[in-house]
Amino acid sequence: MGDIIKALKDTPIPTILVLAGLFFILLTFVTKLGGMIEVQPNQKRWTFFVGLLLLTTGLVLNFSTDFPQRAPPDVSKLTRPLIVPLSNGTSITLEKLQGYLQSKDFENANKETEVLLFQISNFPGTKKRFDRGDSQQLDCQGLKPIDMLWKKSSKNRFGLSIQKDILLDVQTWDKFAEKVGWKHNGKLLEDRSQLIYDLSAPIGHLPGVMFWISDDSNFYGGISCTF
């Protein structure tokens, strides 16, 4: 709105509105104007209000001061969601994940994601990888920003919520693995080195934290977070 008022202020429009307002107000007090315009008594009331509205608008535009511009958002705050508090009172740091994703180093981002998922879970320290149904142990307060960073860096191609939506769409783990590119020649990938770590990968291909499991629809189906 401020930009519109500022643009109008620098045009003849405010002056025209003032003159038009004075003209309509003048019609309120005369019956004929210049022998050409005749105002009926029942028309004088609305000519006064129209004139007052035009006059007020013109004066406001003429004498308005420049509206202060809203300060741009602090980009550093928007792009550095580094410390994320968890529901158990602890927190995780997303700085490494964010750095990897911003530089499109998806391989290290994938490794860091697995580290973070263990940090936001209630697993014992001896556990080395995720298994069926483990998603129920994940803290949504930590999961959502991890997912957000993946989606932002990949233009919504990668992320846990993307993978969950695909699984819900195709219904079976086998079809899911095919769709996200976790199967090659009909067989599941056997090692992280076989994953595709760039944007040419199928939608939902990354993060690859469960690709070796033959049937783990429970993992994604168990994610109760509302992304």
Q: What is the pLDDT of residues 158-204, one digit of tens each?
A: 998 898 899 889 988 888 889 999 888 888 888 888 999 999 999 99
The CA-atom distances, in angstroms, between 178 and each of 158, 163, 209, 210 are 15, 12, 16, 13
Q: What is the mean pLDDT of residues 82-101?
A: 86
Q: Which two tokens stand for residue 135?
A: 């998603």
Residue whose C-alpha is closest to residue 192's, from 97, 95, 106, 100: 106
Q: What is the DSSP string of 25-44?
A: HHHHH-SEETTTEE--GGGH
Q: Which two tokens stand for residue 91?
A: 């927190």
- Name the pTM for this structure: 0.58
Long-range contacts: 120-124, Cβ < 8 Å, 24+?
120/86, 120/92, 120/146, 122/88
Beta-ladder partners of 85: 91
205 against 63, higher pLDDT: 205
Q: Burial of 41 by CB count in 10 Å (0-12 exposed, 13-18 middle, 19+ buried)?
A: exposed
Q: Reduce the DSSP state of residue 183 to 3 states and report it.
A: strand
pLDDT band at 69 (very low <50, low <70, confident <90, very high): very low
Q: For residue 4, what pLDDT is reported? A: 58
The domains found in the chain, sorted by start residue, are 2-63 (no CATH), 75-221 (1.10.10.1770)
Q: For residue 119, what pLDDT is reported? A: 84
pLDDT band at 209 (very low <50, low <70, confident <90, very high): confident
Residue 28 has pLDDT above 90, yes or no: no
Residue type, 43: Q
Q: What is the mean pLDDT of residues 111-136?
A: 68
Q: For residue 85, what pLDDT is reported? A: 84
pLDDT in tens, 34-58: 556 666 666 666 777 777 777 788 7
Residue 22 has pLDDT above 90, yes or no: no
Beta-ladder partners of 188: 183
